[in-house]
Amino acid sequence: MLKARHPLGIVFFPAYDWAISPTHPERQERLLYTQDQLREEGVFDIPGVTELKPDLASHEDVARVHFCFPDVAAVTTTSHLISAGGAIRAARTVMEKEAERAFALVRPPGHHAMKVVHGSRGFCNINIEAVMVEWLRERYGPLRVAIVDTDCHHGDGTQDVYWNDPDTLFISLHQDGRTLYPGTGFPLELGGPRALGTTVNVPLPPGTSDQGFLFAMREVVMPLIEDFKPDLIINSAGQDNHFSDPITDMAFSAQGYAQLTELLGADIAVLEGGYAIQGALPYVNLGLVLSMAGLDYSHVREPGFDPAAVRQSDKVTGYIEEVCRDIVKEVRNPRGPGKGDVANGWFSRRKTLYYDTDAITEYQTESVRLCDHCRGVVKYETESTRNPLCLGVEAPIGACERCVDEAYRIYEAGQIKGEYRHLALLDRVGKNYLSFTG
């Protein structure tokens, strides 16, 4: 019998009791067909491939990452906590050396959930990869992490969470935001003033096939990961780039996904999107599992696959080659500090965000202190059509003593002023997480 060359743990959580609606593409069948396919192929009979049960993330695990207003309980269900816990279980499996690699096949997804959360956007309430990464850092110290998002939609939430973090390299390959939700993810989005070049966006044109994705991986993703030298590589494994996906316009195949997975060599993969529930997901996930385990995936074929029909045009090929060359130049020589305002030693940017799933509009100002000794305390002033003015303050990992003191000063002054309905403080140095309702 074949043995996995890379011992692999697989965490399943279909979330039977959570769906946006009974017929919405984000529903439990996304994973049930995959589960059936893996069992039919005898994947769990292969020595070295193990099925694992998810953990349950706590409210503190979420509050370590997000400013949830009014609180974590208001924006999550048990399914969200188990989904994040499934990602944590995958990470724990790798760190405790139960397996060399792990794949969290879980839902609900998370990569559209930003640092501040008022509700659900892009089917996402909390960022399950970020909850996992910060759980790891809380227990194993200041890890350098590369997150490669291969979902067809720009991972705007993960980008937002790590915008000011120089120890997280976030790379998103996605359909060009001029043609698809959320309308972001352009090459000049490079990160905050103390983290320029650690946010990388590779917008690809509609019709990009295996050829284009694998070119971007070889020419952009892998060289930048080599430069960054991460302790862990994580794949936000969205699968809606598939040629049969009903809500996107790309031309990727199950074989292409498996080859990308082999090239990336991620330690941990976490499922994101993918809505061709019967025709693509079982086969793409099978290819990913076999590839992560170091097994032969050459036989994996989805129904209706015709290489000629999904081949990208010469025009698309030329465009991708040009874009990739430009992206590497920009990332290695970033022009900063980016779009925003500098005043009194703070860099601020203003955002208007729409939560499409919950029909909420948010108005937010993010301000980061330009400190010469650390990445700087970050302050979020935010209000939405669901919540009045709220305040979030973070003293990040590695913050200097002055920035930690400044975070507490801002938080305490906010309580005294009485202008904020809800306040939250994340002190990652002292591992102290506070909240207050005025």
Residue 95 CB burial class (10 angstroms; 0-12, 13-18, ≥19): middle
Cα torsion 369, 371, 373, 376 to 10°: value is 10
- At which residue do the structure tokens 């590695």 appear? 398
Calculate ∠ Cα 249-264-80, nearest 5°. Answer: 65
In the chain, the largest separation of any two C-alpha atoms, in whole Å, equals: 68
Which is catalytic among the residues 112, 118, 174, 422?
Answer: 112
For residue 239, give both structure tokens: 């699968």
In this structure, the strands spanning 422-427 and 390-395 are parallel
Per-residue exposure over 28-57, b if at least 16 CB sit within 10 Å of its own CB, e if not: bebbbbbbebbeebebeebebbbebebbeb
Per-residue exposure over 404-427, b if at least 16 CB sit within 10 Å of its own CB, e if not: bebbbebbeebeeeeebbbbbbbb
- The length of the chain in residues reads 438
174 is catalytic: no
Residue 1, classed as helix, strand or coil, is: coil
130, 139, 136, 210: which is closest to 170 by C-alpha? Answer: 130
For residues 151 and 257, give the distance between their C-alpha atoms in angstroms, rounded to a whole number.
Answer: 11
Active site residues: 112
